[in-house]
């Protein structure tokens, strides 16, 4: 019986989820509030570019088009087009219901919350599906405002965390935006404007941007492009973070080589690793420190940070472990040097009629427009999706902890539901892809979940690990310290606690590796040799596979199947295997296991 499955959101994560579940034989329904795919990439500031180099933000099975060959950091339009063409290439559009906003999700299974709280296993059985439990999804058509309730057995939430619910700082009475004569808007509203509209808004206006991350620097640079020295843009930051002019450091050393390789992975402790690796991480900690200093020294040399009092108090390693580094827009510090961007630090600020008062100064900073580039409340948005107050409480957890997701995908106490795209990483594309692969292995029962209490313990261990490296700057949703290699390895390592019976552990499909290939050129050699282009022997005319009534396949296609399909294919069949190497003997052994004598 086909299981019903809904995906909410057709941004990057929702599309990847859709592609992978379709491959596993599901027919999902994807609810998307907007008219098109691509999520956040539909609305960014004009100058926003990809912050990763394009190789690290590339689908494992769909490369960037040749037209983007020359570019290291594609523009936001190029990223959007790339995501759109992924949806077209894998024929995902027919699964999507556009203009369909999910208002809430209600889990109905006939059990009381007390009974559900007493479960030992996820959803009571540890299985992805439970015949008694269904999600009731309230969907609003954004054109007609009509509402309809749909029922699904499994939900994948891919609603993103950088939209819709802005993080607006709180101010004491009479010190907030209400007393200001000018205009206050969030970066979300600025990004939603078309490029010309945004330029018109800031033209010949005194602008203050509050914030220190990517949106803040991008918007400040755009204001400076429009107004130059005549109306300088002031950028106010509470905490200064390390910002990079490019992803290369001293002598062209790529940042990704220092932080996102198998070697870099040895420098950090990870829960569940062997004693030897943990000793190694301790022994290598001076090297971790040295790498951090190497990056800091380059940035201090390259950028006039000292001159403008913009040297961060936090180490580069802590910043990157908390996902708090960002790429500067082009010529940012040239604009600061010429005076069209003014940088200020302030621990506290309040509004007055004329503008802002910072650092308790008596003279206000007079301005016409204040743009709050203060981020989003992704956890509030996530919470609002659930109708049940108990699930609302479970999903977000206390303010000082992470959103408690096992493998950053599954909440131990919310059944038949997965979340993709909440956690932030160095490359969110690779992270979402990896998680979708893990999830679809679970959905097709190729791996089993531990008990709820073990999952909760695991979540806590990883959270403590994140706090260890992020320190005071630990950022709830950041898994940067684990980086892609770590995730892949740590997913691999799950085999040890999934148990021998899990077919995932001896999966033919080497799924995590396909993701690492993008980051480490040397690994490409490993796949070029044994995958992609099979060696098919040549036969004279009328003596090749075309004259044979049975089925002929290469070991590559056999290995690409999941275990169940492969077993079904060979069971009770006469199989001939041509070859004398590893694949041949392995497949012969599997045929013998399946068919005996
Ligand atoms: C300015 C900016 C720059 C970035 N740069 C990078 C970068 O360089 N590298 C990187 O790795 N990451 C970057 N990111 C992070 C980026 O968010 C991810 O890379 C990725 O695009 C997130 O995809 P997503 O599908 O998880 O979320 P989103 O892109 O937010 O998509 C969520 C989708 O869900 C839909 N949706 C939401 N709520 C509902 C609902 N209730 N019902 C129906 N549909 C709903 C939305 O309409 C949207 O289409 C950047 C983010 C921003 C904002």
Torsion of CA 169, 174, 178, 181, to 10 degrees: -120
Query: 142, 191, 143: which is closest to 166 by C-alpha?
Result: 191
Angle between helices 428-443 and 483-498 (to 10 degrees): 20
Q: From ligand 1's centre to the CA of 490, what distance in Å? A: 25
Ligand 1: which atom is nearest the Cα of residue 431?
A: 11
Task: Say which range, 162-166, 286-290, 467-471, 526-530, has the weakest mean pLDDT.
Answer: 526-530
* Per-residue pLDDT band at 511 (split at 50, 70, 90): very low
* Per-residue pLDDT band at 253 (split at 50, 70, 90): confident
Domain 5-163+377-498: CATH superfamily is FAD/NAD(P)-binding domain (3.50.50.60)
Q: Which of 425 and 39 is assigned the larger pLDDT?
A: 39
Condensed to tens digits (0 to 9), the pLDDT of residues 403-412 reads 888 988 999 9
Q: From ligand 1's centre to the CA of 39, what distance in Å? A: 5
pLDDT reported for residue 36: 96
Summarize the confidence of residues 460-478 as an average pLDDT.
Answer: 70
141's CB contacts (< 8 A; 6+ apart) are 99, 100, 147, 148
Summarize the confidence of residues 92-99 as an average pLDDT.
Answer: 98
* Beta bridge mates, 154: 5
Instruction: Say yes or no: CB of residue 520 within 6 Å of ligand 1.
Output: no
Eight-state DSSP code of residue 95: G
Q: From ligand 1's centre to the CA of 459, what distance in Å? A: 24
pLDDT reported for residue 483: 52
pLDDT reported for residue 495: 41
Q: From ligand 1's centre to the CA of 51, what distance in Å? A: 14
- Work out the angle at residue 476's Cα, subtended by the Cα atoms of residues 472 and 480, and round it to the nearest 5 degrees: 85
pLDDT reported for residue 30: 98
* Per-residue pLDDT band at 136 (split at 50, 70, 90): very high
Residue 78: HSE in the Cβ half-sphere, 13 Å Cα cutoff: 22
Q: Which of 97-106, 126-135, 259-268, 311-320 has the highest mean pLDDT?
A: 97-106
Instruction: Say yes or no: CB of residue 58 within 6 Å of ligand 1.
Output: no
pLDDT reported for residue 505: 34
Instruction: Say yes or no: CB of residue 324 within 6 Å of ligand 1.
Output: no
543's CB contacts (< 8 A; 6+ apart) are none
pLDDT reported for residue 378: 84
Q: Which of 45 and 389 is assigned the larger pLDDT?
A: 389
- Work out the angle at residue 21's Cα, subtended by the Cα atoms of residues 52 and 129, and round it to the nearest 5 degrees: 125
Instruction: Say yes or no: CB of residue 51 within 6 Å of ligand 1.
Output: yes
Summarize the confidence of residues 49-77 as an average pLDDT.
Answer: 88
pLDDT reported for residue 558: 82
Condensed to tens digits (0 to 9), the pLDDT of residues 143-159 reads 999 999 999 999 999 99
Instruction: Say yes or no: CB of residue 508 within 6 Å of ligand 1.
Output: no
CA distance 580 to 83: 42
Eight-state DSSP code of residue 170: P
Summarize the confidence of residues 518-546 as an average pLDDT.
Answer: 57
* Per-residue pLDDT band at 477 (split at 50, 70, 90): low
Instruction: Say yes or no: CB of residue 86 within 6 Å of ligand 1.
Output: no
Instruction: Say yes or no: CB of residue 327 within 6 Å of ligand 1.
Output: no
Task: Say which range, 262-276, 354-368, 460-474, has the weakest mean pLDDT.
Answer: 460-474
CATH class of the domain at 177-245+303-372: alpha beta
Summarize the confidence of residues 323-344 as an average pLDDT.
Answer: 92
Q: What's CA 140's distance to the chain center, in Å? A: 26
* Per-residue pLDDT band at 471 (split at 50, 70, 90): low
pLDDT at 91 over 60: yes
pLDDT reported for residue 24: 92
Taking the domains of the chain in order of start, what are their residue ranges?
5-163+377-498, 177-245+303-372, 517-596
5-163+377-498 and 177-245+303-372 share one fold = yes
Task: Say which range, 185-194, 222-231, 449-458, 512-521, has the weakest mean pLDDT.
Answer: 512-521
Q: Which of 460 and 497 is assigned the larger pLDDT?
A: 460
Q: Which of 467 and 328 is assigned the larger pLDDT?
A: 328
The neighbour count for residue 20, using CB atoms within 10 Å, is 24
pLDDT reported for residue 597: 84
Query: 97, 103, 108, 109: which is closest to 138 by C-alpha?
Result: 103
pLDDT at 562 over 80: no
pLDDT reported for residue 267: 82
pLDDT at 499 over 70: no
CA distance 157 to 144: 24
pLDDT at 525 over 60: no
pLDDT reported for residue 162: 85
pLDDT at 101 over 60: yes
CA distance 19 to 269: 34
Ligand 1: which atom is nearest the Cα of residue 191?
A: 1
- Residue 326 is encoded by which pair of tokens? 């960002």
- Residue 360 is encoded by which pair of tokens? 């308790």
Q: Considering the entire predicted model, what is its pTM?
A: 0.80
pLDDT reported for residue 147: 97
Task: Say which range, 1-15, 195-209, 340-354, 396-410, has the weakest mean pLDDT.
Answer: 396-410
pLDDT reported for residue 475: 59
Residue nearest atom 38 of ligand 1, based on CA coordinates: 159
pLDDT at 510 over 70: no
Summarize the confidence of residues 475-502 as an average pLDDT.
Answer: 47
pLDDT at 364 over 80: yes
Element (H, E) at 236: strand 233-237
pLDDT at 490 over 60: no
Block residue for tokens 């990157």: 320
Instruction: Say yes or no: CB of residue 50 within 6 Å of ligand 1.
Output: yes
pLDDT at 469 over 80: no
Q: From ligand 1's centre to the CA of 42, what distance in Å? A: 9
CA distance 60 to 561: 17
Instruction: Say yes or no: CB of residue 32 within 6 Å of ligand 1.
Output: yes
465's CB contacts (< 8 A; 6+ apart) are 269, 270, 271, 481, 482
Torsion of CA 160, 163, 167, 173, to 10 degrees: -140
Summarize the confidence of residues 239-259 as an average pLDDT.
Answer: 85
Q: Which of 515 and 349 is assigned the larger pLDDT?
A: 349
Task: Say which range, 241-250, 395-404, 428-437, has the weakest mean pLDDT.
Answer: 395-404
Eight-state DSSP code of residue 424: B
pLDDT at 80 over 70: yes
Mutate-to-test residue for ligand 1 from 137, 159, 477, highest number of ligand atoms within 8 A of CB: 159
Ligand 1: which atom is nearest the Cα of residue 101?
A: 42
Share of the chain above pLDDT 90, in %: 47
């Amino acid at each position: 019986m086909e299981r019903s499955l809904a995906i909410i959101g057709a941004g990057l994560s929702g599309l990847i989820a859709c592609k992978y579940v379709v491959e596993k034989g599901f027919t999902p329904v994807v609810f998307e509030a907007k008219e098109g795919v691509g999520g956040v990439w539909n609305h960014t500031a004009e100058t926003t570019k990809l912050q990763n180099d394009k190789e690290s933000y590339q689908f494992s099975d769909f490369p960037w088009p040749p037209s983007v060959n020359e570019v290291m950091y594609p523009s936001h339009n190029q990223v959007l087009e790339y995501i759109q063409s992924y949806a077209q290439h894998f024929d995902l559009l027919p699964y999507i219901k556009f203009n369909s906003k999910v208002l809430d999700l209600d889990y109905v299974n006939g059990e009381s919350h007390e009974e559900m709280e007493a479960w030992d296993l996820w959803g009571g059985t540890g299985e992805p599906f439970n015949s008694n439990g269904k999600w009731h999804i309230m969907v609003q058509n954004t054109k007609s405002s009509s509402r309809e309730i749909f029922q699904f057995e499994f939900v994948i939430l891919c609603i993103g965390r950088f939209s819709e619910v802005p993080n607006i700082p709180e101010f004491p009475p009479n010190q907030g935006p209400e007393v200001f004569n000018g205009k206050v808007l969030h970066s979300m509203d600025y990004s939603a404007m078309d490029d010309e509209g945004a330029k018109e808004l800031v033209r010949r206006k005194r602008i203050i941007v509050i914030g220190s991350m990517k949106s803040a620097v991008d918007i400040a640079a755009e204001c400076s492009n429009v107004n130059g020295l005549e109306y300088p843009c002031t950028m106010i930051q509470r905490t200064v973070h390390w910002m990079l002019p490019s992803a290369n450091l001293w002598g062209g050393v790529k940042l990704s080589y220092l932080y996102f390789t198998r070697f870099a992975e040895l420098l950090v402790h990870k829960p569940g690793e062997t004693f030897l690796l943990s000793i190694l991480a301790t022994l290598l900690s001076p090297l971790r420190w040295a790498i951090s200093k190497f990056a800091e020294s380059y940035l201090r040399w390259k950028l006039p940070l000292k001159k403008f009092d913009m040297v961060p108090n936090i180490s580069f390693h802590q910043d990157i472990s908390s996902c708090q580094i960002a790429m500067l827009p082009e010529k940012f510090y040239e604009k600061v040097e010429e005076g069209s961007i003014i940088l200020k630090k302030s621990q506290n600020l309040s509004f007055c009629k004329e503008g802002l008062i910072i650092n308790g100064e008596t003279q206000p900073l007079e301005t016409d427009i204040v743009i709050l580039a203060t981020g989003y409340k992704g956890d509030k948005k996530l919470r609002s999706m659930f109708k049940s107050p108990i699930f609302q409480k479970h999903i977000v957890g206390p303010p000082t902890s992470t959103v408690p997701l096992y493998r950053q995908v599954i909440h131990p106490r919310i059944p038949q539901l997965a979340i993709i795209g909440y956690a932030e990483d160095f490359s969110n594309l690779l992270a979402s892809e990896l998680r979708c692969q893990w999830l679809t292995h679970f959905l097709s029962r190729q791996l089993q979940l531990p008990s709820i209490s073990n999952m909760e313990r695991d979540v806590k261990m990883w959270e403590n690990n994140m706090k260890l490296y992020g320190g005071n700057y630990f950022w709830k949703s950041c898994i940067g310290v684990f980086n892609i290699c770590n995730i892949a390895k740590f997913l691999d390592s799950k085999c040890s606690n999934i148990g021998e019976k899990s077919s995932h552990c001896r999966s033919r499909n080497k799924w995590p590796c396909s993701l690492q290939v993008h980051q480490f050129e040397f690994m490409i050699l490993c796949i070029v040799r044994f995958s992609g282009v099979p060696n098919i022997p040549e036969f004279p005319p009328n003596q090749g596979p075309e004259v044979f009534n049975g089925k002929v396949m290469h070991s590559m296609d056999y290995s690409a199947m999941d275990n169940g399909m492969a077993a079904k294919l060979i069971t009770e069949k006469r199989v001939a295997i041509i070859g004398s190497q590893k694949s041949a003997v392995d497949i012969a052994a599997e045929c013998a296991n399946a068919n005996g004598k």
